[in-house]
C-alpha cells in the first residue's frame, strides 16, 4: 500500500526526467537556467492556481471557476488602477479579499445546499466572467510605475537565467502548499474529506468549515494567480485565461493526484506544471510544430496517468481481496 501511494508521484517524476532528457537530446540548449527561468515565469500563474486546485481535488471536489476569477482579477486591477489613484498594493489586498470571499461563498453553497461542486463552480465561472465583462470588454493596459518596479525584480541564477518575482511567488506558494497539505491539521482534514466524507464526519472533522476553507483557499490562490497574470501581461482583459481551469486540472492529474480525492501531493502538481511547460518549450524550440500539439500531448498524458491510477486501484483492490481470501482460508483450516 505504501508503495502504491507514492507510485503515481514516482511515475510523474520519471516522465518528467524522460521528457527533459528527450528535449535536451534534441535541443542541447534547453539545458540552461535561462530556459528553466522562462519556464517558471511563463507558468507562474498556472502553477499558483493549480496549488489551489490540488487542495480542491484532494478533497474530492473540483473548481471550474479559477480561469474566470483570474480574468476578473486582471480586469478589476486594471480598471481600478486606471480610474482611481489607489496604490496597487491596496488594490491587491482588495481583490484578494473579493476572490477569497467568492471562493468561500461557493464552498458554503456546495456544503449547505449539498450540491455537486461541478455545477456550483460552473455557476461561479459564468458569474465571474460575466462580472468582468460588465467592468469592461476592452483590454485595459496597466501603466502604473509600481508594476514596472515589480516586473524589474529578478534574481540572476548561475548561467544567466532570471528567476523573476512571479516565479519566486509561485515557488513560495508551492512550498507553503506542501507544508499546508502535509504538516497542518487543515491538510489532514482535506485528505480525510477526499478519502471518505462519511467517515470524516464521524471522526469529527469539521466538514463545513473545511469545505468552505478549501474553496476559499482556491479562490484566494486564483486571485493571487490573477495578480501574477496581470504582472505577466501588464493588462487586464475579460477574455483572458479562458480554459486555465482545464490546464490546472490536467496539471494536478498528471501530478499523480487521484481525482476521486484522498491521495496525491502538491509537489506532484509542480511536476505536472513543469511537464506542461516542457511540452510548450519543446514546441517553441522546434518551430515547425503547431501549438495545438500541446493539447493533444496533454490529453494523451492525462489518459496515461488516469489509466495508471485505475490500474493501481485495481491492483490494490485485488491484493486486498486476495489477503481477505487468504485469511479466510487460514481461519477455516484452523
Can you give the binding site for another protein, defined by CB under 8 A? 62, 109, 112-116, 118-120, 122-127, 129-131, 133-134, 137, 238, 246, 249-250, 253, 259-260, 290, 292-296, 298-300, 302-303, 306-307, 310
Least Å distance, CB 221 to another protein, is: 21
Least Å distance, CB 160 to another protein, is: 34
Residue with smaller CB distance to another protein, 173 or 312: 312
Residue with smaller CB distance to another protein, 101 or 123: 123
Given CA atoms 65, 254, 225, 266 in this order, what sign does their dihedral have? positive
Least Å distance, CB 201 to another protein, is: 15
Residue with smaller CB distance to another protein, 122 or 207: 122
Residue with smaller CB distance to another protein, 126 or 146: 126
- Paired residues of 163 in beta bridges: 155
Given CA atoms 79, 81, 85, 87 in this order, what sign does their dihedral have? positive
Separation of alpha carbons 258 and 44, rounded Å: 23
Rg value, the chain, Cα: 21
DSSP state letter for 115: -
**Ordered alpha helix ranges (H), the chain:** 2-26, 33-42, 44-58, 66-83, 88-112, 117-135, 145-152, 165-183, 185-195, 197-202, 207-233, 244-254, 266-286, 292-333
Least Å distance, CB 135 to another protein, is: 10
Residue with smaller CB distance to another protein, 164 or 257: 257
Least Å distance, CB 46 to another protein, is: 14
Amino acid at each position: 500500500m505504501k508503495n502504491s501511494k507514492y507510485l503515481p508521484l514516482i511515475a510523474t517524476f520519471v516522465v518528467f526526467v524522460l521528457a527533459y532528457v528527450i528535449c535536451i537530446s534534441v535541443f542541447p540548449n534547453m539545458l540552461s537556467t535561462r530556459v528553466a527561468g522562462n519556464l517558471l515565469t511563463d507558468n507562474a500563474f498556472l502553477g499558483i492556481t493549480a496549488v489551489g486546485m490540488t487542495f480542491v481535488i484532494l478533497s474530492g471536489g473540483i473548481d471550474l471557476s479559477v480561469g474566470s476569477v483570474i480574468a476578473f482579477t486582471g480586469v478589476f486591477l486594471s480598471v481600478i488602477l486606471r480610474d482611481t489613484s489607489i496604490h496597487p498594493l491596496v488594490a491587491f489586498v482588495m481583490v484578494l479579499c473579493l476572490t477569497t470571499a467568492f471562493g468561500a461563498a461557493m464552498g458554503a453553497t456546495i456544503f449547505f445546499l449539498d450540491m455537486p461542486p461541478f455545477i456550483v463552480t460552473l455557476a461561479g465561472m459564468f458569474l465571474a466572467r460575466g462580472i468582468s465583462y460588465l467592468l469592461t470588454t476592452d483590454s485595459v493596459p496597466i501603466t502604473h510605475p509600481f508594476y514596472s518596479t515589480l516586473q524589474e525584480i529578478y534574481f540572476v541564477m548561475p548561467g544567466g537565467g532570471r528567476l523573476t518575482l512571479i516565479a519566486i511567488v509561485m515557488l513560495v506558494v508551492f512550498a507553503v502548499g506542501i507544508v499546508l497539505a502535509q504538516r497542518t491539521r487543515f491538510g489532514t482534514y482535506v485528505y480525510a474529506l477526499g478519502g471518505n466524507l462519511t467517515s470524516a464526519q464521524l471522526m469529527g472533522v469539521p466538514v463545513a468549515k473545511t469545505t468552505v476553507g478549501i474553496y476559499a483557499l482556491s479562490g484566494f490562490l486564483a486571485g493571487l494567480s490573477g495578480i501574477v497574470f496581470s504582472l505577466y501581461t501588464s493588462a487586464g482583459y475579460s477574455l483572458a485565461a479562458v480554459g486555465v481551469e482545464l490546464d490546472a486540472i490536467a496539471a494536478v492529474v498528471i501530478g499523480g493526484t487521484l481525482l476521486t480525492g484522498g491521495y496525491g501531493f502538491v509537489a506532484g502538481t509542480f511536476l505536472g506544471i513543469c511537464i506542461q511547460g516542457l511540452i510548450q518549450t519543446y514546441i517553441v524550440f522546434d518551430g515547425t510544430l503547431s501549438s495545438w500539439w500541446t493539447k493533444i500531448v496533454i490529453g494523451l498524458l492525462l489518459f496515461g496517468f488516469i489509466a495508471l491510477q485505475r490500474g493501481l486501484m485495481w491492483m490494490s483492490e485485488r491484493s486486498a481481496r486476495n489477503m481477505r481470501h487468504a485469511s479466510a482460508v487460514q481461519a477455516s483450516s484452523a
